[in-house]
Structure 1
Amino acid sequence: MKDVNQDGKIRILHVAQAAGGVDRYIRMLFKYMDHDRFENILVCSHDFKKEDYNGFADAFEYVDMQRSIGKADVSAMRAVRKLIKNYDPDIVYAHSSKAGAIARVANIGMKKKGEKIRCIYNPHGWAFNMRCGKKKQMMYTAIEKMAAPFCDKIICISKAEKESALARKICKEDKLQVIVNGVDIEDYEQRRIVGLSTVTRESCNIPENSFVVGMVGRISEQKAPDVFIKAAKQIKEKIPEAYFVIVGDGSDREKIESYAKEHGINILITGWVENALDYVDLFDVALLLSRWEGFGMAIPEYMLAGKPVVASRVDAIPEIIVEGKNGLLVDADDVNGVYRAIVRLYEDSVVRRKLISKGRITVHEKYDAKRVAIEVEKLYENIYK
């Protein structure tokens, strides 16, 4: 193994543009890393909050990184390259497609003690899997193929992500490593023990006898809020006491609110909140109706909270949910399928209890954040040799 830094630690410089799930992933990683062996530096866009990393990040730097592709990317690459020179890391870890392109180009030719600085890339869901025009898909695929030679390993957050990369011929298989995502079980359980949540049906003006159907996610095309609200219209006709909750915000919020008002649907849209799982506790049934999904972090979080799950049968989701055992699967865009699944769970308490029980077992056995940190640590050590 190479000589480590004077303090005996391997230094990793993380680069991230998109917040949301990437932000949660990085915080989780930093929390459970062995701080006696690894030093974590975060270089990120202004979408991240520095205070969220107090006690976790050894250093924190802002760089102006835009979501859209443009001239600003050149400035971002220069800024990241300068920070790589300043911090002299052993490994650069790029998160998501935009930061992945910026960091990999910025790291070209960079060396430490005469040897190239290693680079890891985690797309957190391939951009070319989004529902968009063929030209955009081809562009995203081309960018990934061009950038792939400039990293040593690509982490796939699910088996479906790896299979997708191979199908698109992004790189050779030996460059891909699957490290399945996880959730912070310890944090959730500690919050429940301490009783930190102040979110109740009463505080949210939801009648206590309501049958609450909810989802967590961005109110935009990927998460299919239109399918959610159309199914809600059918559900309320069958279940008069049904109440609907969306934990999140997004570009389609106004459309969803207008539809709900027009059809007399009782709905709460929380906007972005720090404590999403506190709102999940309100649910009787939890939905994830994504049209594409690199992993589907919300599903193990729902299971952890003891909620029966209905999710779309796309990408990585069937890796988590086994139909009828720990959740129910429906086809993407299938409003009637969502309606039937919800009514089934409403009417059949035996099935509901079974899914809750099996779901909790699933998340504890397979999706603990501590396991993710251990696997990433092993990868660091393997590529650092």
Structure 2
Amino acid sequence: MTATKRRVLIIQEAMGGCGRHVVDLVEGLDPERFDVTVMYGTSRIDDYYRKALPAMAGHARLIPCDDLVRPISPAHELRALRAVMRVIREFRPEVVHCHSSKAGVIGRLAVLLCGRHSGVRRVFYTPHAYSFQAPEFGGRKRVVFVGLERWMSRHATTLTFNVSAGERDAALAERLDTPAKFEVVYNGVADVPVPSRAEARALLGLDGLGVPADAPVVGVTARLVEQKDPLTAIGVMKRVVEQRPDAHLVMVGDGDLEPAAREAAAGIADHVHFLGYRPDAERVVAAFDVYLLSSLYEGMPYSLVEALRAGVPIAATDTTGNDEVVTPGANGTLFPVGDAEAGAKAVLGLLEHPIPTEQVRRTYRERFTLDRMLETISARYEGVPPTGGERDEEERA
């Protein structure tokens, strides 16, 4: 069997949803079919990925790369490019899979520079939200990012895996490449048992925080950073508390906006609880009555899929990614980005008219299981093209 294994090189930035995706991919790929090496950037590695490294080492060779950094830095980028080329020449992978924009450019360029004798037969790319989708990148920067993505897709990519149909639509709107070069592969999470509501609340220690056992809890498990817009979440909760003074907001996650979020919550401090990063975030989500996500933009947020798995209805901003997880009326409600008033209305509606747990879970099982994600990516690694049925399903998405 060893001789038939396909050598796969994964190149990535190790943080957030991108990091989680690769951890699940590496641990889930069949070791009888794939020989995996992971080259990962260390500059923004988060706690989740750092703690996953020992287990990942049992499934793949791990190569840290200090020069895969987010800021534009020619010196770092040149060193990273050389490092990737060196790994390609030594490992001679049949498949190269790049994750995130920076790794996507460097990894694909390295394959081109190594030439046709490198052994690489297929190059895949998962952007996890294109850089040009971010609101902070406009004007000339956006034009440059679009141009880079277009050139790389047309000259150095076998297939792009988009984590949402909205992300794929953004690629097609910018004419990055032909529709056949993109396939939607939703982030999946394992269908494992989750704690009961009471068990999850005990894990969070809500009694010790002064949250009554019967109090409605609105929760979020996301980084407190600009993309997730936690200040709007605080604004939503201020309006919720005006009508439901028994309600509480639990924020699981850390980030550079935590001080600003705490300041914004000063007027309702008894109702807002900052619990920081927790490695069990995907389990404690079961403690919530409503999951709240106020993102400015997304690729395909794992946190929402975890909420569905736990049977927790969602109030989320109507943006790319979120709008493919949330089906209004079936598992939650969408509201406009930055609109705290509409967000509060969405949360209050879900508290007053709860959606049955099993109905919410059904939407997870239909589209967002880890097995589904692994089966699709494994088939592409082995050269199996998307079938007509899979293309039809993408169009429905």
TM-score by length of 2: 0.87
User: What does residue 97 of structure 1 align with?
Assistant: 101
Q: Which structure 2 segments of 5+ residues have no match?
A: 386-397
Q: Which structure 1 segments of 5+ residues have no match?
A: none
User: What does residue 142 of structure 1 align with?
Assistant: 147
Per-residue CA distance 1:341-383 (angstroms, 9 max, x = gap): 22222223xxx133x3322001012110011000001111117
- SS, match of residue 186 in structure 2: coil
Alpha-carbon distance, 1:16 to partner: 0.7
User: What does residue 21 of structure 1 align with?
Assistant: 17
Per-residue CA distance 1:183-228 (angstroms, 9 max, x = gap): 1223xx1777xx8984342355533232211112121222121110
Distance 1:364 1:202 in 2: 32
Per-residue CA distance 1:233-262 (angstroms, 9 max, x = gap): 111121112111111112211111011124
- Check the 8 A contact 1:18/1:67 in 2, yes or no: no
2:234 aligns with one of 211, 224, 229? 229
* Residue 190 to residue 89, structure 1, CA distance change in 2 (3 Å): farther
User: What does residue 157 of structure 2 align with?
Assistant: 151
- Check the 8 A contact 2:194/2:286 in 1, yes or no: no
User: What does residue 377 of structure 2 align with?
Assistant: 376
Matched to 2:156, the amino acid is F
Q: Where do 1:99-178 residues align within 5 Å?
A: 99-110=103-114, 115-132=119-136, 133-148=138-153, 149-178=155-184
Distance 2:14 2:178 in 1: 26
- SS, match of residue 185 in structure 1: coil
Matched to 2:40, the amino acid is C
User: What does residue 388 of structure 2 align with?
Assistant: none
Distance 2:120 2:355 in 1: 54
- SS, match of residue 292 in structure 1: coil
Residues 1:267 and 2:279 are matched in the alignment: no
Distance 1:146 1:112 in 2: 18
* Residue 205 to residue 112, structure 1, CA distance change in 2 (3 Å): farther
Matched to 1:103, the amino acid is G
Distance 1:239 1:136 in 2: 44
Distance 1:55 1:115 in 2: 25
Alpha-carbon distance, 1:73 to partner: 0.9
Alpha-carbon distance, 1:274 to partner: 1.4
Distance 2:113 2:227 in 1: 37
User: What does residue 312 of structure 1 align with?
Assistant: 317
* Residue 114 to residue 256, structure 1, CA distance change in 2 (3 Å): closer
- SS, match of residue 263 in structure 2: helix
Q: Give me the CA root mean square deviation.
A: 2.3
Residues 1:55 and 2:58 are matched in the alignment: yes
Residues 1:332 and 2:328 are matched in the alignment: no
Distance 2:25 2:101 in 1: 19
* Residue 37 to residue 137, structure 1, CA distance change in 2 (3 Å): same
**Percent of residue pairs bearing the same amino acid type:** 27
Bigger share in helix? 2
* Residue 114 to residue 279, structure 1, CA distance change in 2 (3 Å): closer
Worse-superposed segment, 356-365 or 48-57:
48-57
User: What does residue 8 of structure 1 align with?
Assistant: 4
Matched to 1:316, the amino acid is G
- Check the 8 A contact 1:247/1:279 in 2, yes or no: no
Matched to 2:184, the amino acid is V
Matched to 2:7, the amino acid is R
User: What does residue 292 of structure 1 align with?
Assistant: 297
- SS, match of residue 7 in structure 2: strand
User: What does residue 81 of structure 2 align with?
Assistant: 77
Per-residue CA distance 1:288-314 (angstroms, 9 max, x = gap): 221211122221210111211111111
Alpha-carbon distance, 1:336 to partner: 1.0
- Check the 8 A contact 1:209/1:241 in 2, yes or no: no
* Residue 84 to residue 116, structure 1, CA distance change in 2 (3 Å): closer
Per-residue CA distance 1:102-152 (angstroms, 9 max, x = gap): 111111143676754421111011111111233332222122123221121
Per-residue CA distance 1:59-103 (angstroms, 9 max, x = gap): 111011111111211111111111111211111110111111111
- Check the 8 A contact 1:213/1:286 in 2, yes or no: yes
- SS, match of residue 382 in structure 2: helix
Distance 1:180 1:343 in 2: 29
Per-residue CA distance 1:318-339 (angstroms, 9 max, x = gap): 2222211221111111111111
Residues 1:43 and 2:39 are matched in the alignment: yes
User: What does residue 353 of structure 1 align with?
Assistant: 355
